[in-house]
Structure 1
Amino acid sequence: MSERVEQTISSFDGTELAVHRMGAGRPVVLLHGLFSSAEMNWVRFGHAGKLVEAGFEAIMPDLRAHGTSGKPHAPESYPPGVLARDAAALVAALDLDDYDLVGFSLGARTSARAVIEGLQPRRLVLAGMGLEGLAGWNRRAAYFIDAIDRFDEVKRGDPAFMPVSFMKTMKIDRVAARLLLQAVDDTAPAELSAISMPTMVLCGDKDDDNGSAERLAETLPDARHVEIPGTHMGSVTEGALGDALVRFLGNND
């Protein structure tokens, strides 16, 4: 496997973002999901390695308030659309002008917003995402904010048990995460016409956490829906995820 290179960049407001890079081929920016990290989402289960073996460079930031990136506690560090602005800052800092963009769950929301606001990857992958999830962030955010607020009292059987358990595993900074949850923008279906590049909507066959992946693919101008095994969290552990990325991004048609 290719050696991993670690670096940091300063985002638009000076917050330091950790960036993990593997490989030396065509750049693919990969944005992980909520409470996760580049290591957990892309490296641990082999997806980045498969991309590297196929001739790509995997560029994997830890999102703000996640992993080894900055976790500021000041509310002003979380303006609306902060993650899309971070993605644009990353592309600018690394001087990327011909690249692909992949996002899972929160990373998919971020990728969609970043494209709507001006990023132009060659190809786009929205994974773990459905049409309703892009426009229904307030409901999802409230679910996770509740899990943070009741963190110390949640027991097995509680609807918040799984996110709390994952936050514990990932040693999430709850103050920073709570602020971030309030800074994610909704994306209305009417805005999706701006996503004109070839797009793959990749989703587990038991994943309906963020609505209908099929409807999202149907709404986008140039998209295909691809199904892999798994639930929302489980699909990340499936080798099929990395295989699907390689097939789609390696297709020059």
Structure 2
Amino acid sequence: MILLHGLFSSAQVNWIKYGTARRLAEAGFTCLLPDLRAHGQSAAPHEAAAYPSDVLARDVAALVAQQGLVDFDLVGFSLGARTAARSVIGGLAPRRLVLAGMGLEGLAGWKGRLDFFRDVIDRFGTIRPGDPAYLSQQFLKGSGVDRVAVRQLLGAMEDTSPAALAAITMPTLVLCGDQDNDNGSADNLAAALPNARRATIPGTHMSCVTRPELGQELVSFLTTDA
């Protein structure tokens, strides 16, 4: 199983810190936990040439090839979910797919999210409580992510038309917190996919990854016959 973390985060924060990876390992999965480019322990170059279009999906494809993976599951949260979807559209064929913390608009309406995150970076350190960007600024501050590098990365992400989602044919779980609408409608995303079901766990976009229900839902979906 490959687990892809969210924006401004890392494998440690999304998957290890709150026990989700441990829960999956206890269920018998071997977990690969990459830090995405410009995040965590991965390189964070500043040069624009390091961020070609769909670079994160290319990185995932390179990981699959390097590890010689044939039978694997792909799980992504937020940015990781966007990356997972783009990876499948680009040709990867996981056994099962999980798009967590993601709605249809987070894939098909990326420009709005791009503008939001660029604003967080550009106003970093000046955003006050009550501003919609405040929590993202505080998370970015705590993560220590290189702001120059991640701003370059944001521009490498492609919009995904609803029609392109037809390529995602494997069993797919669309999983979101009950207070998470950051990336649009998870219901609409599940409806747009050929073979998807919807699941809800407690929490906001930021808090749902701390919940034991996240690991429970992943294990249930990935170990139940389709």
- The verdict on a shared fold, with TM-score over 0.5 as the criterion, is yes
Aligned: 1:252 with 2:225: yes
Percent identity (aligned): 61
1:155 CA drift (Å): 2.0
Aligned: 1:237 with 2:210: yes
Aligned: 1:124 with 2:97: yes
The alignment partner of 1:87 has SS state of: helix
Distance in 2 (alpha carbons) for counterparts of 1:41 and 1:241: 11
Partner of 1:45: 18
The residue type equivalent to 2:85 in the other structure is A
Aligned: 1:114 with 2:90: no
- Structure 2: segments with no counterpart, 5+ residues: none
Q: TM-score, normalised by structure 2?
A: 0.98
1:215 CA drift (Å): 1.1
Q: Pick from 59, 62, 68: which aligns with 1:89?
A: 62
The residue type equivalent to 1:33 in the other structure is G
Aligned: 1:170 with 2:134: no
Aligned: 1:140 with 2:96: no
Give the count of matched residue pairs. Answer: 226
Distance in 2 (alpha carbons) for counterparts of 1:195 and 1:151: 36
Higher relative contact order (CA 8 A, sep 6+): 2
- Structure 1: segments with no counterpart, 5+ residues: 1-27
Aligned: 1:221 with 2:194: yes
Which structure shows the bigger proportion of residues in helix conformation?
A: 2
Distance in 2 (alpha carbons) for counterparts of 1:219 and 1:195: 10
Deviations for 1:153-199, whole angstroms, at most 9, x for unmatched residues?
22222222111111111101000010001111111100011000000
Matches within 5 A, 1:146-161: 146-161=119-134
Runs (4+) of structure 1 exceeding 4 A deviation are none
Distance in 1 (alpha carbons) for counterparts of 2:97 and 2:139: 27
RMSD across aligned C-alpha pairs, in angstroms?
0.8
Deviations for 1:81-112, whole angstroms, at most 9, x for unmatched residues?
01110110111111111100000001000000
Aligned: 1:197 with 2:167: no
Partner of 1:101: 74
Matches within 5 A, 1:13-92: 28-92=1-65
1:228 CA drift (Å): 0.6
Distance in 1 (alpha carbons) for counterparts of 2:225 and 2:131: 46
Which structure shows the bigger proportion of residues in strand conformation?
A: 1
Distance in 2 (alpha carbons) for counterparts of 1:114 and 1:65: 18
The alignment partner of 1:60 has SS state of: coil
Distance in 1 (alpha carbons) for counterparts of 2:132 and 2:177: 21
> Quick check: 146-155 or 55-64, which moved more?
146-155
